[in-house]
A and B are shown apart, each in its own frame.
Chain A
Amino acid sequence: MSFTGATEASPASRVEPTAGQWLRREARGIRGPLVRTGVLSALLALALVGQAWVLSGILAMGVLAHAGFTALGGLGLALLLLAVLRFALAVAARRSAFQGAQQLAQRLRARILQGTQALGPYGLRAEASGDLITRLVDGVEAILGYFARYLPQASAAVLVPALLLAFVFPADWLSGLILLVTAPLIPLFMVLVGRAAAQASERRYAQLTRLGAAFIDALGGLVTLRQLGAAERFAAHLEAQSEEYRVLSMQVLRVAFLSALVLEFFAMISIAVVAVLVGFRLLWGEMHLRAGLFVLLLAPEFYLPLRALGGLRHARMDALAAARQLAALDALAPGGAAPQPVGAPVNLTAAPKICLEAVTYQHRGRAAGLRECSLVIPAGRVTALVGATGCGKSTLLNLILGFARPGQGRVLIDGQDLATMDAAQWRECIAWVPQHTHVFEGTVRENLLLAEERADARALERAALESGLGAVLARLPQGWDTPLGERGLGLSGGQLQRLAIARALLRARARVWLLDEPTAHLDAEGARSLERMIRAAAPSRTVLLAVHRLSTARSADWVIVLREGWIVEQGAPDELERGEGYYARLLQAEHA
């Protein structure tokens, strides 16, 4: 089951049971708090019964015996004590439910993190769109709401009516019978009327959410709309869209609300029938007033939990949606993180020679990454990897980073198989500029220090100067302390690139430089100064560049040309340029 397929393509009806099952399975993990909450709400119901009994006693005495204020004495005190008890129980029940839900949420957060680790560095990024990752993280909140609110209420909706019934029957069997008969009727009717309606209203709810997102999208794209002169037209479009939605929804809601009507109708009519029947038997002297009042007081409480549940339906829908995503993640990454094998310690004193021996790597469910690639990346030189987007350049870098193991063949570092080496120690030796730089939440400084926490202010300044980030910083009012990331300043492509380069430069001890499209988004001057810097650093390092801009490749000592996972050419750049091969054709295209 693919991640995107499970969450977007499949119709809700088919996936629903899976999401429901997932929630039930998770519930088992917090059985303790759930049981405790159940016991507390049962105790709460018992206190309620006690209160009704005392109150009906007071009222009956007041009505029949004209007992005055003094009659309140002992019973009044009992009423007060029961009220305080209910107060304490209510707080304890909510607290216990919330604690359980929080435990679960903590475990879920840990599992999401573990899942990504098990999937490997590119696992989740490759499987899920950025939007899905957001939904995964936000889904934890929805799950918390479900277990803290919906589930306790759902169990109360079963437990409390059953308990109350046990007390109503001895007091008045006829009223008990009325409640008993209507109680199962309500879920039955709600199922009959409500199944289709509930699904329809769930779809409406999802659509409403989408409509809201579309509006926010439109606000985000307002500048584009103005440039296109389409803003006013788009406003009309938004208006028409929400009008259409309103008309359609109201058609559905007219039916969907019927299930609530059924519930309300049964509850109210039962109370009315109980009251009228009790009244007549009181008139005929077949019953005591206290029993009658007791039953009347409990009748509305009998339906209350079920009615309260209706108001929490959105919590359930949100949780089901979130459960679908989380269940899909579980399916992708079963069994948590794979144990990291401890490899041989890495002790590099000089720049290493990197060799690939007939390496083949296949991406899951996609075109080949690399096919039987054999190559040598010499120390002290600049090697450039050239080819169109998707030809396998980044894959090759990832294999050298130890992010993935070759399907066949070996990666050798100074003759030693990378698979036998300690991956973490090996990465300590690498300065890497990724193709897509992620900006972490935090200041510019914090973003840089992530790559090298021991770097001091001087090292930071030097990295900023050499990468061109310094010029960017000079224009920011808060300089090094400017917050970045999703909730901070957004960087342009060129600024982002400089940030990535500065990060890599901070790793001063790195003997291996892996630079993925380092000159992308840079202007000609910026690209040239970066090339100069790479050249200057090269003698004491092993440098591998992945580029699609050929002018950068021309400054390298050695060029390897990749096409659809195969190595089609390699050689010195001027040699290749004079040839008739793919490289020469690419170069002609760029210069034509």
Chain B
Amino acid sequence: MSRVLPPMLRRLLAVLHPERSWMLGGAALAVLAALAAIGLMAVSGWFIAAMAVAGASAAAINYYTPAAAIRLCAILRSGGRYGERLVTHEATLRSLSRLRVWLFRRLIPLAPARLAALRSGELFARLRADVDALEHFYLAVLVPGAVALASVATAIVLCLIVLPAAGLAVLIGALLAGVLVPAWLQRRAAPDAATAVREGGALRGLLLDALRGHPELLAWGRVSAHGARIEQLARQLDARRARLEVLEATGGALVGLCAQLTLLAVLGIALGAAHRHTLSPPLLVMLALLALALFEVIGPLSEALARWSATLTSCARVFTLADTPAPFVEPEVSASVPLRPAVVFEDVSLRYDEAAPWALTQVNLTLAPGARVALVGASGAGKSSLVAALLKLYPLQHGRILFGGRPLESLHGDELRRHIAVIAQHSVLFNQSLLENLLLAAPQATAAQIERAVSLAQLDGFVASLPDGYDTQLGEAGALVSGGEARRIAIARALLQDAPVLVLDEPTEGLDAVTARDLYTALDAAANGRTLLLITHRLSGLARLVDEVVVMEAGAVQARKPVAQYLAEVGG
């Protein structure tokens, strides 16, 4: 069965393989419930007609069996539907969890070097939609597909037994309504649909701009001009979507029309057969009602088909991403790192991809254990790239980096990063409690260690002000805390890591002078004995935290001098 599926879908099913019994069970129950509903109508039709014939001819009839069958169908239908919903939901929730965790684990070694999606909002939104499509594959595509296939097959087998020609009519009708009409409509709608998605995104962007950028628009006198742009695009998009809606409605109504045409064909064939006495009259009614009921399950097929091709595209994208080779082959056994490691950059050159400009060009830099160095330079001079290279997040095009005397290739990335605590410009907080966020890097930290890190990061007042203290939830992407608080939480988190090397990327940006001074004092105490690398624009207070300054320019180290000399030169 799985052989007829496209390879990408087979990959998806392979990931979901452990949940196959739930998935199959759910599909089986769905088929059972659908067949029971069709059976109910078909048997009822036959029963009524047979009773009428018996009544007219005053013949004896066994009405117990069909009456019992009717009741059985009714019970199977309602019970089966309940079971179906429970089992398919169980299967969906299980496969959803499996898929997400699988994908997450696959993407870990790829971030950030091979995950352009993390840097671009649009790519990230697409990844999100792709995962969504895969998650709905089972309920929206697989189950309706299985139900339609099984029902049509059963109906045709029944027809073949009773009246083969009617079977042919049903087959043609089902193919027409379930496959050909949807495929034709989809093709007709495709260009408009693609444009509508694009325009929808653009309109959403314009609306968000109008709300978020209102002050700017007002200051520039562009409010009504922007409003006119929205109006124009909205009108265009609305017209397009109205066309698409009519097309979709036509598709739905065409399925109904196919059902009626099939019914007419079956009627014609069956009436002739009944007339020639090759078909018992009650079976005529049964066939007619069977044909009508069958199209109830064919209706949802058109949406399943539409999703089918979308799922294939999503599948291809997600698996191509997941199959990207990791930028590093990590060593089986990681070399050991000395207690106080030195950091050495030798001729390091780095660029993020082939087309990108060089981010680092032949950087040579040595940081002795316990060295305290500030990295300064214009934005884009390569300061953050230097840190990314040190963290073994991007492969070098040239040169090497030694950490504690070991080349980075001999160190497992996770082991290396355990020794480097980073407070990045964009440290992300997660939708967990404050405590869980703090413990991310150091799950075994004791209460005393946490208290210390929190107080070093000037966070104790904030924690005391929280209603639930450490158990306060920080909200999606840390949305419930301010920027300054988020920064200090990230600092406390990094301090808890207790690593010999501390990297600070603009720790005081956006803080006022007094807070910044206090933070530097605290960092000075916290960095005691550790190697410290400070990336900053702010020159004030520099001398209290570092001994030397490394000036970077256009991806290269331009100068290295004692902090006092540097400050005197730039006149800060």
Contacts and interface: CB of A to CB of B under 8 A. Distances in A.
Contacts, number: 467
Name which of B212, B393, B516, B541 has the most chain A CB atoms within 10 A of its CB: B212
Interface string B219-239: 111110101001000100010
Interface in A243-268: 243, 245-246, 249-250, 253-254, 257-258, 260-261, 264-265, 267-268
A99 to B, nearest CB: 7
B97 A246 contact: yes
A69 B47 contact: no
A260 B47 CA distance: 28
Interface stretch (B63-71, B342-350, B457-465): B63-71
B214 interface: yes
Interface in B44-73: 44-45, 47-56, 61, 63, 66-67, 70-71, 73
Contacts of B380: 471-472, 475, 494-495
A324 interface: no
Contacts of A289: 48-49, 52
A219 B118 contact: yes
Interface string A437-462: 11011000000001111000000000
A522 B51 CA distance: 91
A80 B218 contact: no
Interface string A353-387: 00000000000000000000000000000000000
A469 B6 CA distance: 49
B121 interface: yes
B229 to A, nearest CB: 10
B262 to A, nearest CB: 11
A246 B98 CA distance: 12
A455 to B, nearest CB: 12
B5 interface: no
A55 B257 contact: no
Contacts of B188: none
A238 B208 contact: no
B177 to A, nearest CB: 12
A257 B85 contact: yes
A175 B379 CA distance: 81
Nearest to A254: B86
A201 to B, nearest CB: 10
B336 interface: no
B427 A224 contact: yes
B422 interface: yes
B428 interface: yes
Nearest to B80: A264
Interface stretch (A19-27, A159-167, A483-491, A531-539): A483-491
Interface stretch (A177-185, A422-430, A570-578): A422-430
Interface stretch (B24-32, B107-115, B157-165): B107-115
A74 interface: no
A592 B517 CA distance: 7
A195 interface: no
A269 B74 contact: yes
A546 interface: no
A109 interface: yes
Given A69-B272, A268-B74, A234 B440 contact: yes
Contacts of A170: none
B121 A487 contact: yes
Contact of A233 (B41, B210, B422, B443): B443
Contacts of B260: 51, 79-80, 82-83, 86
Nearest to A253: B89
B404 interface: no
Contacts of A523: 376-379, 537
A234 to B, nearest CB: 7
Instruction: Give the contact-size bracket for chain B.
Output: 35 or more
B201 interface: yes
A472 B274 CA distance: 84
Contacts of A260: 81-82, 85
A589 B426 CA distance: 26
Contacts of B477: 217, 220-221
Instruction: Give the contact-size bracket for chain A.
Output: 35 or more
A230 B440 contact: yes
B215 A121 contact: yes
Interface stretch (B189-197, B308-316, B507-515): B507-515
Interface string A128-140: 0111011011100
A311 to B, nearest CB: 10
B281 A116 contact: no
Contact of B94 (A122, A218, A246, A271): A246
A219 B127 contact: yes
Contacts of A246: 90, 93-94, 97
Contacts of B467: none
B431 interface: yes
Interface in B229-279: 230, 234, 238, 241-242, 245-246, 248-250, 252-254, 256-257, 260-261, 263-264, 267-268, 270-272, 274-277
Contacts of B125: 487
Interface in A228-248: 228-235, 238-239, 242-243, 245-246
A344 interface: no
Contact of A222 (B111, B422, B497): B111
Contacts of A342: none
21 contacts: A62-B267, A63-B284, A68-B274, A215-B104, A217-B477, A219-B118, A222-B118, A227-B420, A250-B90, A257-B85, A289-B48, A389-B484, A427-B221, A477-B355, A485-B209, A492-B425, A523-B376, A524-B570, A526-B379, A527-B537, A589-B514
Given A434-B219, A485-B205, 9 more contacts: A80-B261, A112-B207, A129-B479, A137-B207, A219-B104, A223-B424, A267-B78, A279-B51, A488-B120
For the complex of A and B, the 7 pairs showing the least CB-CB separation, nearest first, are: A68-B275, A221-B428, A83-B260, A494-B379, A242-B97, A275-B44, A94-B249
